Structure 1
Amino acid sequence: MSQSQTVTRTDADGVATITLLVPGLSRQSRADLTETIRAVAADESVRAVVLTGSGRAFCVGQDLAEHVQALRGDASTSLDVVADSYNPMVLAFAALRVPTVVAVNGACVGAGLGLALRGDLRVAAAGAKFGTAFAGIGLGSDSALASALVHSVGGSRATELLLFPDTFTAETAGEWGLVHHVVPAEDVLATAQQLAGRLAAGPTAAYRAIKEVLATAATDSLEDTLALEGRLQKALGQTHDHIEAVEAFLAKRAPDFTGR
């Protein structure tokens, strides 16, 4: 287990669970989260990741008390943090090559929502509140929230959600496809870890290829998608996991995936 004042990491059976200990994203918590994600990315024993929060919130975006101090100091540089620390944090999480499950234990707002939508799967606590928040404080969007919303719910609903930053529930988020499972609050982390455990026991290289194709499938041409799939399939066809799965199918037994 590794721990800072704002982020903890625990590992079990190939699953790394990263927990945000504070609801607001301060300079320190952003740095700690980015460092933890990068450490996970470099750890070959990790085959799936769970990202969650603690207490009543998953993540409510910028620590506004810290932001007010920056505004009062020099408004012209107060939002340099977007390029300096938000973007590296989101990019690090999105770049993870193993499957990621986000356990939304409570309020998920602003940059917190942008971060959550970069996970591969999302489990949310029943009744948890979601919101874009930015327009409500006179800002546009950051943390790639706009692109994540367009990808998840389409341009029309994304526009409405950003222009009218009203909160909505986990149940509504589930109906819209923003979350995959809505469960009682006490079951959120266990459900997310169960999903991650199932993925950690699966064909890691195949999951990596799936993530790579999905990352560009909505914007690439048909020709580019076919070419990428072809390259990836050729490589996957030579992996232990593919050969093992075919042999297991013929032998009528469960495959033993090793991630190779």
Structure 2
Amino acid sequence: MTYENIEFGIHAGIAKLTLNRPDKLNSFTQAMHLEVRAAFDQIRADGTVRVLLITGAGRGFCAGQDLSDRAVAPGSAPVDLGDSVERFYAPLVLAIRTLPMPVICAVNGVAAGAGASIALACDIVLAAQSASFVQAFCRLGLVPDTGGTWHLPRLIGHARATGLAMLGEKLTADRAEEWGLIWKALPDDALQAEALAMAQHFAGAPTLGLAYTKRALQQSWSNTLPEQLALEGQMMRELGSSHDYREGVDAFVNKRTPHFRGA
């Protein structure tokens, strides 16, 4: 497929997806959504992919929805924003959350609105120190969508989530790290190199175990402790028969570097 709104490629187990509308701060249009969806389909179909790295081109990560793509003229019929969420943004968040591999987000600039929500849906978020996170929905009389109302309170607590969602204030990358919203804030010139190094680490890691870890952490929010203990037991039973577990133990015992297959 030829992409016009994103850059996408797979190399050495790493899928890299770059939002590529830099003149519009990589804001989403319907065409861009369809290209991202096609990239995720390709990732799922390619058995060599072990990790996904998402970032943005230019000076911003993603400014959310391109409002000119669904502009509302005075006196015109209202736009069904719920349809946009249901057809595009919700499936994108679920695709990130259910992808059976680590998803790294390298936030290279402002992440606003749905752009911030997309970043926070990823498993590990790195951000340039010049980057910022803005819950801009309140400025338009809207609610934080794309999973924003789900991720924010779970990551930073109810009080901080409410302040960000209702005031729309800019949160710096350093403060986001301090609050636990992201994994790490980095000097701007170190962001992409560290993100790639992390992706290379995951490309050689036991992907199946990481996928189970991702799912277990997500289910812990709704499970009781007995349910979570039962889930852990079932997962350990399944992972204990995997190639990667046998390889990891043998490498440890024989003091050699393991060669994981991700299965």
TM-score interval (norm. to shorter):
over 0.9
Question: Is residue 201 from structure 1 mapped to residue 204 from structure 2 by the alignment?
Answer: yes
Equivalent in the alignment of 1:81: 84
Match of 1:150 among 153, 173, 191: 153
8 Å CA contact retained: 2:109, 2:131: yes
* CA-to-aligned-CA distance 1:76-103 (integer Å, 9 cap, x gap): 5254211121111211122111111001
Match of 1:56 among 48, 54, 59: 59
Equivalent in the alignment of 2:259: 256
Q: What amino acid sits opposite 1:17 in the alignment?
A: K
Point out where structure 1 has 5 or more consecutive residues left out of the alignment. Answer: none
Equivalent in the alignment of 1:41: 44
8 Å CA contact retained: 1:71, 1:78: no
Secondary structure of residue in 1 paired with 2:65: coil
Secondary structure of residue in 2 paired with 1:80: helix
Q: What amino acid sits opposite 1:234 in the alignment?
A: R
8 Å CA contact retained: 1:59, 1:107: yes
Match of 1:118 among 121, 138, 148: 121
Equivalent in the alignment of 1:7: 6
Superposed displacement of residue 185, structure 1: 2.0
8 Å CA contact retained: 1:16, 1:48: yes
8 Å CA contact retained: 1:3, 1:9: no
Distance verdict in 2 for CA 1:197–1:72, change over 3 Å: farther
Bigger mean CA deviation after superposition, 182-191 or 93-102: 182-191
8 Å CA contact retained: 2:70, 2:79: no
Number of residue pairs aligned between Structure 1 and Structure 2 = 259
Equivalent in the alignment of 1:234: 237
Measured in 1, the distance between the counterparts of 2:151 and 2:132 equals 18
Runs of 4+ off more than 4 Å? 69-73
Superposed displacement of residue 251, structure 1: 1.2
Superposed displacement of residue 70, structure 1: 7.4
Equivalent in the alignment of 2:177: 174
8 Å CA contact retained: 2:52, 2:199: yes
Distance verdict in 2 for CA 1:72–1:103, change over 3 Å: farther
Superposed displacement of residue 224, structure 1: 1.2
Superposed displacement of residue 172, structure 1: 0.9
Measured in 2, the distance between the counterparts of 1:124 and 1:84 equals 28
Measured in 1, the distance between the counterparts of 2:79 and 2:135 equals 23
Superposed displacement of residue 183, structure 1: 1.6
State, as a whole percentage, how many aligned pairs show the same letter. 34
Distance verdict in 2 for CA 1:215–1:70, change over 3 Å: farther
Point out where structure 2 has 5 or more consecutive residues left out of the alignment. Answer: none
Distance verdict in 2 for CA 1:176–1:72, change over 3 Å: farther
8 Å CA contact retained: 1:99, 1:208: yes
Match of 1:137 among 137, 140, 158: 140
TM-score calculated relative to the size of structure 2? 0.94
Superposed displacement of residue 37, structure 1: 1.6
User: Counterparts of 1:203-218 in structure 2 under 5 Å?
Assistant: 203-218=206-221
Match of 1:105 among 103, 108, 113: 108
TM-score calculated relative to the size of structure 1? 0.95
Superposed displacement of residue 213, structure 1: 0.1
Equivalent in the alignment of 1:31: 34
